[in-house]
Each structure stands twice: as structure tokens, then as C-alpha cells.
Structure 1
């Protein structure tokens, strides 16, 4: 039985752990050749090994997509070595929380650079290749999937800059969707609630303590739950576009 994404190529950023890693595995399971990009190339190799052993194609790329040149290079290497690009999953991101008055401005800049500008840089570099895939690829459709957050829909105290970056992802995605709809390059946004990943571990200890207390009584999403949402979006028929998926733990209010 032919897998839905057989013959296609996907690039997943921030793929060294969590949602990115799970998404790369999910797309590979659907038959895609997958390029995985992140700063921690050793973690990427850990992901790639079992997939290659099972007959899959995985390209590992060391890249910090907050730098425009590295974002572009990740896209160009994907196309040069795997031959094409049909699916881009912009997953790389940071969540650095805390009260605005006590937060170093450098943390804000870092989040905007990764969460928003890095996503935009990678998308910009990918668009000509995605348009080509939609015109003559095996499925005659291409996809950009941007991983946002519940915080891209509702603003929360202690999350001002993070929310700003994720609201920006939503706005960029919708404008891009309108521009590309007629060319069969679909643009989707996945907005997870609380997920059991390393993301919150980047915060200062006092912020981590607040987060642990806030979600102590609920069962968080797993990375694979969000990866399922991404795989659902990109495996729809050519005439079906899933533009936005909000995925929360059942108990999260």
C-alpha cells in the first residue's frame, strides 16, 4: 500500500526533540523523505539512525534558523540533497516567560528572532521550491505548517513577548495563506496547549515552579499528539486545506 507522502520531501525545524522530533517521525511514517534541522546535530543523528535502518531517508542539518543565512542554507541543502521540497514544518521555538518589568530585553529579542523571524526566513527561502512542488510534484500540493500556541490566540500575563511572537505567527500565516491559496501551497497553523516537552525547561527556576504548579493536576499533551495534528494537515486531499488547529489537553481551561 502506497503511503500518502511517498515521493515527497519535508523539512522540519527544531527537530532535535519534542514536537519537531515527533513530527519528523510522523512524516517519515507517511512515506516522506525528511530533512531535520536544529542546533543540536548530535540529537538529530539519534533521531535519524533508526529511520535510516528501517529504510527511510533522513537528512540532518545543523542550523540556527534565527540567522537568515542559516535558515536559507537549510532549505537549499534540503533541495540539493533530497531533490525537492513539498512540506515545511516551522517548529523551532522558545518560550521564555516572566513579568515584563523583570525580564531582560535580550530574552524578548531571542524569542522574536527564533519564533517569528526565523520562521519567516525559512518560509521565504522555501516558497519557490514549494510552489514548484505544487505545480509538478507527485501530490500537486505543498504545505507550510507553522507551530504556534494557544498563546497565539489569547494573551496571558507573564507571557507578553512570547504571546507577541506567536500572535505574529498567526498573522503572518493568514496573510501568506491568502497569497498562496490559488497556487495550491497550503498554509496551516497548529496551536498546542500545554505539552510535555523541554520547552518550559529553558525558563528561570522561579518561572518553571509557577508552570509546574499551574498544570500539576492535568495530563499534558505529548509531542506525538501535536505531530498527529501536523500529519493530518499535510495528508489531506489536494482540495482540502486545514488552516488552523487548536489542540489542548482535555482538562486545560
Structure 2
């Protein structure tokens, strides 16, 4: 077990599949106590059962990150169960790509609500806890699409991930000292994210693009690397891609 992960309380949003599930499994195997949030409670409950049967400590709360009330309840649930929070992994995300000319404003709203506002709700709920403890670690899941625009089709998604990077950097600057901030920016990683596009032509392109994807466990290991550093070391940004990905 990693000395700097074992025993830590880690809250993960979007934990029912993909990056969130893989991160929960990996950190639990390293001795972390995990608190899982996602909309699909049945998947969360099955994951908790797996982790507990393997000797881990895990609880789950049905959480839609577009609801500030539910995000607050996730954080309060973690405190009630374990008495503290050491890490919040803001992982929930949606990639509903389509050309701007399609005018899919409802999908733009949904991405903004999940990718930006959901992240901010997590920060709003956990920051007072971290400040009171005088310790804590935000891990925000961005994207290589938050470093350069994935267009055509991914313009609004890129906009939300550029926002994640900006918010993370501002957060680091504002609360740094005893609170750490890490942005993880993956390229193509195998998860359900690739199925978010309702525009058929774009969806076909994205699914084909993701044939080069690396396993979600790749991101879980990057998250563990950031967490396990000594308290005075803040890994601010990790970018990882499949070696064959050129974007």
C-alpha cells in the first residue's frame, strides 16, 4: 500500500463507470476509503459491493452533479461516514459533440451544467471542509481538448474543458498553501464519454477516433501519482495520451 494514499478519504463523481470506476478500484486497492457519486445507483451499489468484498471501505450516494443540493449531500455524506475528506475527484463529464451549425443548444447547456457548473458545485461544497481541515486536494478531470480546440464538432466541449483548466489554475492560486489542485488532461481513454454525441456523423467520427484509446486505468494511475506525493508537493497538471494519438 502507498503510505500517502492508504487511509485517505477520496470522493469521486461520475464513479459508476469509466475513469471514475477505474479510479475508485485503483485507489481502494491502495487502501483509500472511497465515497462514490453518480446518477446510476445500481452501478454504484455493485461497485461498492466489489470493493468491500475485496477488503476496502466504500460508500455511495446517488448524485447528479447538475444539482448543487445533491453534490452537497455527497460531501456531507462523506463527512458523516468518515469524518473528513482528503481528496475530491471532479470527474463527471459529458461530451456531446456536433457542429455549431446544428444549433444543439440543449446539449451545450447540458455540457456547461455538468462539466463546468458540476465542477464548481464540487469546489463550493468541499472547499470549506478543506479550509477547516487546513488540508485537501482537488483533482479536476480536464481533457487535451481543454488545451486545443477539438473541431469541427467539439467546440463547445473544448470550451467547457478550457474552463476546467482556467478554474483549476485560479483555484490553485487562491487556495494554495495547504490545499492542492491537480488537473488531469487525458486524450482518448476508453470510457462511455465517446457515446455522448447524438449527431450521427460526429458520433461515428468520435467512436472511430477512440479506437486508439488507452484503458481508464491509465488515468487512475496518474491520479494516484498526484495523491501520493508529500503534502508540500502539488502536481498541478498531468497530460496523457495514447502514444499514437496526434491530437
Same fold (TM over 0.5): yes
Number of residues of Structure 1 aligned to a counterpart in Structure 2: 244
CA RMSD of aligned residues (A): 1.4
Structure 1 stretch 155-164 or stretch 91-100: which is displaced more? 155-164
| Residue 239 (str. 1) matches residue 232 (str. 2) | yes
Match in the other structure for 1:25: 25
Aligned equivalents of 2:66, 2:193: Cα separation in 1: 17
Report if aligned partners of 1:65, 1:71 keep a CA contact under 8 Å in 2: yes
Match in the other structure for 1:197: 191
Which 4+ stretches in 1 moved above 6 angstroms? none
CA offset at residue 88 of structure 1? 0.3
Report if aligned partners of 2:108, 2:156 keep a CA contact under 8 Å in 1: yes
> How do 1:199-218 residues align onto structure 2 when only pairs under 5 Å count?
199-204=193-198, 205-216=200-211
Report if aligned partners of 2:23, 2:220 keep a CA contact under 8 Å in 1: yes
CA offset at residue 54 of structure 1? 2.1
CA offset at residue 82 of structure 1? 1.7
Match in the other structure for 2:166: 171
| Residue 188 (str. 1) matches residue 182 (str. 2) | yes
- TM-score, length-normalised on structure 1? 0.92
Call closer, same or farther: CA 1:53–1:167 in 2, change over 3 Å: same
Structure 2 residue ranges without an equivalent (≥5): none
Report if aligned partners of 1:90, 1:119 keep a CA contact under 8 Å in 2: yes
Structure 1 residue ranges without an equivalent (≥5): 136-140
Match in the other structure for 1:93: 93
Report if aligned partners of 1:86, 1:129 keep a CA contact under 8 Å in 2: no
Aligned equivalents of 1:214, 1:84: Cα separation in 2: 40
Call closer, same or farther: CA 1:55–1:132 in 2, change over 3 Å: farther
